[in-house]
Amino acid sequence: MSQDETPVVENWKPKFLILGAVIGALTGLGAAFLMVQRAEKQGIKPAFSTKEGVSLGMLVLGLLRQVSQLGSGDGK
Could you give the CA distance from residue 50 to residue 47 in angstroms, rounded to a whole number? Answer: 10
Read off the pLDDT band of 34 (50, 70, 90).
very high
DSSP codes of every residue in 38-76: HHHHHTS-----HHHHHHHHHHHHHHHHHHHTTTS----
- Is the per-residue pLDDT at 76 higher than 90? no
Q: Where are the domains of the chain?
A: 29-66
Q: What is the mean pLDDT of residues 40-45?
A: 93
- What's the pTM? 0.66
